[in-house]
Amino acid sequence: MLRRLAVIVLFDGVDLLDVTGPPEVFALLDRELGQESGYRVRLAAETLEPVRTFAGVRVVPDTTFDDLTGQDIDTLLVTGSVEVDHQGRVRALADPDVVDRVKQLACTARRVASVCVGAHVLAAAGLLDGKRATTHWSTAAQLAADHPEVTVDADPIFIQDGDIWTGAGISSCLDLSLALVAADFGETVALRVARQLVMYLKRPSGQSQFSVPLRPLSTTPRIGELRHYIAEHLAGPLTVTDLARHARMGERQLTRVFKSELGTTPAVYIESARVEVARHQLETTDATLDRIATSCGFGTTDTLVRAFRRQLGVTPTEYRNRFRH
């Protein structure tokens, strides 16, 4: 049996689920296979002293970084941590000592994966140079600004670029771990583990980590009211001219305000809102794609399919097959 040493990097302030999620996936894999998969998980830190996670729970390392020097590592999993200021703004951290350790361990690893904001540590170690990567949506802009040599895509829940994998939001550590299992043991086995985790189905890498409610709230009352108007009239045409007239402002002004407050254009926002409603219908109803396209304002099934591919990276049919309640 192939031995697969999986090392999870620990340090103070690390997110707890980043640490515990992958081992749960690997343990359930053993149960599904009815035998050991070969994964041997080790939590590694600078010393063997307990590490305090962001949640306040203390985790005891299995080994030290020094003890792993020169060992063949199958999968190096790099966790992350953040600091939050008094205004609730989140910033990812990359301790220089941890970065150096990750750089050393990566030299003997078959593949390296970051969980959530652990991508900032990989980037600081130079492991993402020239690569496409993702991270938690709240720190994606920071990653792009701090490391322009990295092509940051804030939308997918995980990305594989060669032997480097990067994951998005905290719970997507499960999706990333399942993808690693699928790469080693096949999709069928990974889906069986996903069912044990009570996940509807294993999500593909292109599945978006965003939904319309995650977009920032508007500060201009007229834009806030206009968002409600859009939600109530998705089946209609909703042109920029119509929206500007309803908001009692010029079309150019409307576009500028949307861009400054919501970070997008009216057209893209409307498409996102329509996709969100279509997602709900796909999950909870037997409505045909034609009916959903009409009720959500897409008009045709082709337009619905193109919007889903742009927004979520999957077709409506693929989405329904994976997430139907």
Give yes or no for a contact between 149 and 131, defined as CB atoms under 8 angstroms apart: no
How far is it, in rounded angstroms, from Cα 217 to Cα 280?
Answer: 21
- Strands 51-52 and 58-59 come out as antiparallel
Query: Is the per-residue pLDDT at 305 higher than 90?
Result: yes
> If you average pLDDT over residues 230-252, what whole number do you get?
90
pLDDT at 198: 67
Q: Enumerate the H helices of the chain as residue ranges.
A: 16-33, 96-106, 119-124, 140-146, 172-185, 187-196, 221-232, 240-247, 251-262, 266-284, 289-295, 301-312, 316-323
Cα end-to-end span (Å), the chain: 38
> If you average pLDDT over residues 43-69, what whole number do you get?
95
> If you average pLDDT over residues 191-214, what whole number do you get?
60
- pLDDT tens readout for residues 259-283: 888 788 999 999 989 998 898 899 8
What residues are labeled active site?
116
Question: What's the CATH class of domain 221-323?
Answer: mainly alpha
> If you average pLDDT over residues 223-235, what whole number do you get?
85
Tokens representing 185 are: 């043991």
Percent of the chain with pLDDT over 70: 91
How far is it, in rounded angstroms, from Cα 191 to Cα 180?
Answer: 12
3-state secondary structure of 99: helix
Query: Is the per-residue pLDDT at 132 higher than 70?
Result: yes
Give residue limits of the domains in the chain.
Answer: 4-197, 221-323
pLDDT at 214: 40
For residue 219, what is the DSSP state? S
Tokens representing 172 are: 């997507």
Burial (CB count <10 Å: 0-12, 13-18, 19+), residue 237: exposed
- pLDDT tens readout for residues 136-189: 988 999 999 999 999 998 878 889 999 999 998 777 788 899 999 999 998 888
pLDDT at 89: 82
> What integer best gives the mean pLDDT of the chain?
88
pLDDT at 202: 45
Task: Confirm whether 4-197 and 221-323 share one CATH topology.
Answer: no
> If you average pLDDT over residues 289-301, what whole number do you get?
95
> If you average pLDDT over residues 194-215, what whole number do you get?
56
Using left for φ > 0, alpha for ψ between -120 and 50, and beta otherwise, residue 186 falls in left
CATH superfamily assigned to domain 4-197: Class I glutamine amidotransferase (GATase) domain (3.40.50.880)
How far is it, in rounded angstroms, from Cα 33 to Cα 74?
Answer: 20
How far is it, in rounded angstroms, from Cα 20 to Cα 27?
Answer: 11
Tokens representing 130 are: 């020239």
- pLDDT tens readout for residues 65-119: 999 988 999 999 999 999 988 877 889 999 999 999 999 999 999 999 999 999 9
Burial 195-207 (b: 16+ CB within 10 A, else e): eebebeebbbbeb
